[in-house]
Structure 1
Amino acid sequence: MHTSLAAQLAQLELGHVRAERIRPCRSTEPPDPDAVTQTLAAIWSDLFALFPDTALEEDSEEIAWGLVNLFHRAAAKRSRQIDRATDEIRCLLAAADGSEVNSSQLESEIERARSAEAAMLGLEAMREAAAFLYSRETGSSWRPAGGSRLNHGASCTSAVVDGRDFLRARGEARQRARMPDGTPVLFAGGRLSFATDLEAKTFANNVWDTLDKVRGRVADMVLVHGGDHKGVDRLAASWAEARKVPQIAFGLDTRLGQRAGFKRNEQMLSLKPRCLVAFPGSGVLERLVVDAKAKQIAVVDRRGPLGTHPKHAARLAEAAG
């Protein structure tokens, strides 16, 4: 006759054994940075070698964005855990009565916060490594679908901050962690098309060369742009990614309809930038140039053909005539 599991256990003399909750050992050491870089590069190379000349070729950029976003979302989750643990620590400190229970709870919450912080920093480092691969693959700086891309474990050179997040932080008595600190430089340009690949390359080179020259004059430059993934902003964002220059991206508030572009102009100019770098664009951009000059903000004008100075193009035309 077979006895039940419960009956078999009852026959054992286990009365002296006490079940205890075993706390797992949590290391605060992140993965080795070189190992992270090499592993992600290998995964990236193998995965995206599959896509050319297949039905997935057009989806490769979206898949690449999603891979970076995996690390970004995981890091954001850990950041929220830190916030909750920090709030609990404040409450325990306020209610501190010297008891063993209070001290034990406080130690537990501090350990939880430290563990979450270590995990967040590790995940952010992995996201930054993946974001570099994304930039190399697509030619564009990686940005989350909403909000900012902050890197708490490093300087703000890798920050891509949402414009509204930045304005909110500036208005608070205590700024959010890792917001970029430096001299704002506005960049503006529209969506353009070119007759040949050579013209497109020439224009892109002019954007990068211009920004390099501006950075030579403004060493602590923070690039402020509209965050348009399909326009000239994409070239500027890629430049900032490559040069490790922090970015503030002011996306359009679509709820404002036709006023959205002009409202964005107001927000960017409210940062009191050192100068405006202007490439060809729409009427909204032209209004931005007018308003910048009215506020005595220097304009680096590159609205001529292929991103040249308009007066330079006029001199060439005059010489040719």
Structure 2
Amino acid sequence: MPTTLAAQLAALELGHVSIKAETGTQCLVRPDPEAIDQTLAAVWSDLFALFTDTILEGQAEELGWGFVNLFHRAAGKASTRIERATDEIRLLLATNDGSEIHTAELEQQIERAQAADVEMLALENLRETAAALYLAETGSSWKPAGGSRLSHDALTTSAVVQGREFLKARAEGRRRAAMPQGTPVVFAGGRQSFASADDAKTYGDAIWRTLDRVRANVADLVLVHGGDSKGADRLAASWAERHKVPQISFSLDTRLGARAGFRRNEQMLGLKPRYVVAFAGNGVLERLVIQARAQGIAVVDRRGPLGTNPKHNALIQTAAAAA
């Protein structure tokens, strides 16, 4: 005797009948933010307490990175599904014949895109909460191994019910994620080595203190930097995340070879920043300062030892020599 519904339909010669979920019934409710905070904080605490005083303690930072990346990858997959559904929506709009079948297909693709959109936003919320835990644990801003860490704003496209409106809202959401609203401030600094841990701390404090002062003059600051995971950019990114300041990271295009750094300079200055905050670096950074001044962009120069103003430092040395 047939045991499955499909087998029973086949036995009744009703194989042409199909069963599918009713459209519009998928839950689009995102997890409660407070519940996300509490749950991930508890998981994180228990997980890293497990590593303490064990052979895995040295792996804690890498494992924490992977914990955040779990949600980042899942959000990326949801974003890919949105793109596929969006392509289908464009195609259906271009071939619209007014038929009921065509209309039903369009509505189905919009529903798929809406569901993936809400799913992506929920996963990004989880990622950002986990990234905040990573920052508190390691003192460093979390950065994906490849690609960008975009955070789409709260204006979700899931409320849109028309194809063309969906496409327009989707494009606007991507633009806002890639370019946050505010006043760009470029930060640049290279990798440094220090004689002592105290010198390293002094340098890090100088970066944070400088950015605090710049932010006092630019309330809607958007921090623009190169995204280096080991240099001064890392300290600046940690400052931005700690203070909930939007960031734009311009990675090097390695296909350009030796030209890559200069191309990145052009891209960052192309945003018309209010300031360029410059700490010590290589010749590419020096060129950035020269170009910024030539374009009338104010430079906050901290290329002296341990993040000091080089002119101020020179005056101190001159005075000391004269004494």
Q: 1:93–1:265: structure 2 CA closer, same or farther, 3 Å change rule? A: closer
Moved more, 202-211 or 84-93: 84-93
Aligned equivalent of 2:265: 265
The 5 Å alignment of 1:148-297 reads 148-154=148-154, 176-178=175-177, 179-297=179-297
Tell me how large the CA RMSD over aligned residues is.
Answer: 3.0
3-state secondary structure, aligned to 1:299: strand
Q: Distance in 2 between matches of 1:6 and 1:29?
A: 38
Structure 2: gaps of 5 or more residues: 156-170
Aligned equivalent of 1:113: 113
Normalising by the residue count of structure 2, what TM-score does the alignment of the two structures yield?
0.82
Deviation at 1:175, TM superposition (A): 6.7
- Give the residue type in structure 1 aligned to 2:175: R
Deviation at 1:274, TM superposition (A): 1.6
- Give the residue type in structure 1 aligned to 2:300: V
1:8-42 CA deviation, whole Å, 9 max, x = no partner?
A: x999xx74998641417420001111111111111
Q: Distance in 2 between matches of 1:220 and 1:105?
A: 43
3-state secondary structure, aligned to 2:51: coil
**Percent of residue pairs bearing the same amino acid type:** 63
1:42-91 CA deviation, whole Å, 9 max, x = no partner?
A: 11111122334433333222222222111111111111212222222333
Deviation at 1:174, TM superposition (A): 11
- Give the residue type in structure 1 aligned to 2:19: R
Deviation at 1:119, TM superposition (A): 0.9
Q: 1:154–1:196: structure 2 CA closer, same or farther, 3 Å change rule? A: farther
Deviation at 1:214, TM superposition (A): 0.8
3-state secondary structure, aligned to 1:224: strand
3-state secondary structure, aligned to 2:281: coil
Aligned equivalent of 1:164: none
Aligned equivalent of 1:80: 80
Aligned equivalent of 2:168: none
Q: Distance in 2 between matches of 1:94 and 1:77?
A: 26
Q: Distance in 2 between matches of 1:125 and 1:241?
A: 14
Q: Distance in 2 between matches of 1:209 and 1:251?
A: 25
Moved more, 89-98 or 66-75: 89-98
Deviation at 1:282, TM superposition (A): 2.1
Q: 1:207–1:23: structure 2 CA closer, same or farther, 3 Å change rule? A: same
1:139-178 CA deviation, whole Å, 9 max, x = no partner?
A: 22222222222222438xxxxxxxxxxxxxxxx9997342
- Give the residue type in structure 2 aligned to 1:23: A
Q: Distance in 1 between matches of 2:136 and 2:154?
A: 21
Q: Distance in 2 between matches of 1:270 and 1:194?
A: 33
Moved more, 243-252 or 206-215: 243-252
- Give the residue type in structure 2 aligned to 1:21: I
Q: Distance in 2 between matches of 1:203 and 1:119?
A: 41
3-state secondary structure, aligned to 2:289: helix
Deviation at 1:182, TM superposition (A): 2.5
Aligned equivalent of 2:167: none
Q: Distance in 2 between matches of 1:123 and 1:60?
A: 23
Q: Do residues 21 (structure 1) and 19 (structure 2) align?
A: yes
Q: Do residues 90 (structure 1) and 90 (structure 2) align?
A: yes
- Give the residue type in structure 2 aligned to 1:309: N
Normalising by the residue count of structure 1, what TM-score does the alignment of the two structures yield?
0.82
